[in-house]
Amino acid sequence: MKDFAGKIAFITGGASGAGFGQAQIFSEAGMKVVIADVRQDHLDEAMAYFKEKNAPAHAIKLDVTDRAAYAAAADEIEKVYGSAPDLLVLTAGVNVFGPAEASTYDDYDWVVGVCFGGVVNGLVTFVPRMIKSGKGGHIAATVSWGAFGAGPTTAPYSAAKAAVLNLLESYYISLKPYGIGVTAVCPANIRSRIYEAAIKGRPEKYANTGYNVTEDTQQLLASIHAHGMDPRVLADWMKKGIENEQFLVVPYPSGPRMVEMALERFKHYASPEGMKYLEEKAKQPPTEEEIRMNCEREGYDVTKGGLRPPANAPQGSFKDVGFGKAKKDVDWVDPSKKVN
Ligand SMILES: NC(=O)c1ccc[n+]([C@@H]2O[C@H](COP(=O)([O-])OP(=O)(O)OC[C@H]3O[C@@H](n4cnc5c(N)ncnc54)[C@H](O)[C@@H]3O)[C@@H](O)[C@H]2O)c1
């Protein structure tokens, strides 16, 4: 898709962070934007922005895990803008962190439900309508760099994101003959309010977490996201990916090399020699290339102050606030066995 002007974009999670950046960039490209979000306060803020700009925008309060509400939202757009969207952007997501071995069913049901289930619901709701419209179009999703690597404290999140990446590849292949492109964007740190999700955005029915989640852990997360990529810059990467009909966008100068290195890791996992290599490698300090890539992903400016994170980087306080730890009453988690 190269022309955006006059077309319709439907963006989940479009009222904050990455999704709001996408709403701004696609609106500036002349699109009519529909912002679908579960939080009314975020919707109100975003709509105030578009009202001030006098740009066509429509807000729908939508929980992406609610299939009936999703169908109603699709009907609503057809009524308001006259047809199915040309561009479907699946960005709504949540996260929460803690040791894999402390995870509860609620941790999985909530995170996987929104991050993976929400994308499934978007595809099942809109793909038939987009095909029937006969207009072609594009589907883009905000996945995560987490899709390429599992951390010890990210089990539900990185599993959901890896599943989304795989899912989108199926659609990328299937939808090509209909003139519908698919783009998966895999950023690392973004300047956003995702740290609010685990406290303000977690439904009561999924309240039972195995992780230590407090105001302090979320404030630490907020300080990390504060230096993340500007959502408008991320949206520019997404737009370019759509224009180029590119399936995968890793939004950094070293993006393709990062993917190569992530896949190499799997190559090593697949043989005894490779396993030995990885074990030895883990004992070595990171290479300059690895440090630079990490800085790109974290949002540290590698042109200022060399390749190291700045002195005020918040990592030092992870331990102090118990970030990524199990809840106290999870008595089978042995802190002496922690790997990070
Ligand atoms: N922040 C990061 O560092 C980062 C990194 C990689 C990927 N991502 C991904 O980017 C996407 C956007 O997150 P963000 O960081 O901009 O966070 P954000 O919280 O600022 O924005 C996400 C928006 O999604 C909405 N949302 C949450 N659950 C929803 C639901 N069930 N239905 C509808 N809307 C819902 C929230 O209300 C919020 O407005 C997510 O998929 C996230 O996993 C974020």
Predicted TM-score of the model (pTM): 0.96
pLDDT band at 7 (very low <50, low <70, confident <90, very high): very high
For residue 196, the ligand 1 atom closest to its alpha carbon is 19
Residue nearest to atom 2 of ligand 1 (CA): 190
Ligand 1 centroid distance, CA of 43 (Å):
13
Q: Indicate whether 184 belongs to any domain.
A: yes
Mean pLDDT of 26-43: 98
Residue nearest to atom 44 of ligand 1 (CA): 190
Q: Indicate whether 301 belongs to any domain.
A: no
Residue of 157, 190, 258, 294 to mutate, ligand 1, most atoms within 8 A of C-beta: 190
Q: Chain-centre distance of CA 317, in angstroms?
A: 24
Looking at every residue in the chain, the average pLDDT score rounds to 94
Question: DSSP letters along 71-132, please?
Answer: HHHHHHHHHHHSS--SEEEE---------GGG--HHHHHHHHIIIIIHHHHHHHHHHHHHHH
Range of the domain at 221: 8-251
Q: Indicate whether 307 belongs to any domain.
A: no
Integer-rounded Cα radius of gyration of the chain: 20
Mean pLDDT of 233-237: 98
At residue 68, the pLDDT reads: 98
Q: What is the pLDDT of residues 101-151, one digit of tens each?
A: 999 999 999 999 999 999 999 999 999 999 999 999 999 999 999 999 999
Q: Tell me the C-alpha to C-alpha distance, in Å, between residue 196 and each of 2, 34, 183, 190, 322.
A: 35, 23, 27, 14, 17
Q: What is the pLDDT of residues 62-72, one digit of tens each?
A: 999 999 999 99
Mean pLDDT of 208-224: 94
Q: Indicate whether 280 belongs to any domain.
A: no
Q: Indicate whether 63 belongs to any domain.
A: yes
The CA-CA-CA angle for residues 25, 114, 188, to 5°, reads: 55
The CA-CA-CA angle for residues 87, 91, 97, to 5°, reads: 165
Candidates 157, 171, 195, 206; catalytic one? 157
Most confident of 218-222, 276-280, 286-290, 311-315: 276-280
Residues with CB under 6 A from ligand 1: 12-13, 15-19, 37-39, 42, 62-65, 91-95, 114-115, 118, 142, 144, 187-190, 192-194, 197, 201, 225, 228
Enter the DSSP assignment of 285.
P
Q: Indicate whether 198 belongs to any domain.
A: yes
Q: Which residue has the higher pLDDT, 340 or 43?
A: 43
Amino acid at 198: A
Q: What is the pLDDT of residues 255-293, one digit of tens each?
A: 999 999 999 999 999 999 999 999 999 999 999 999 899
Which CATH number do you get for residue 225? Answer: 3.40.50.720
Structure tokens at 317: 């306080």
pLDDT band at 302 (very low <50, low <70, confident <90, very high): low
Residue nearest to atom 36 of ligand 1 (CA): 13
Ligand 1 centroid distance, CA of 334 (Å):
31
Amino acid at 332: W
Question: DSSP letters along 268-285, please?
Answer: HHTSHHHHHHHHHHHHSP
At residue 305, the pLDDT reads: 53
269 is catalytic: no
Q: Indicate whether 69 belongs to any domain.
A: yes
Mean pLDDT of 75-87: 97
Q: Indicate whether 279 belongs to any domain.
A: no
d(CA 284, CA 279): 9
The helix (H) or strand (E) run that includes residue 291 is: helix 288-298
d(CA 102, CA 155): 10
Percentage of residues of the chain with pLDDT beyond 70: 94
Q: Tokens 């956003």, residue?
A: 192
Q: What is the pLDDT of residues 18-30, one digit of tens each?
A: 999 999 999 999 9
Give me the number of domains the chain comprises: 1
User: Cβ(77)–Cβ(58) under 8 Å?
Assistant: yes
At residue 228, the pLDDT reads: 94
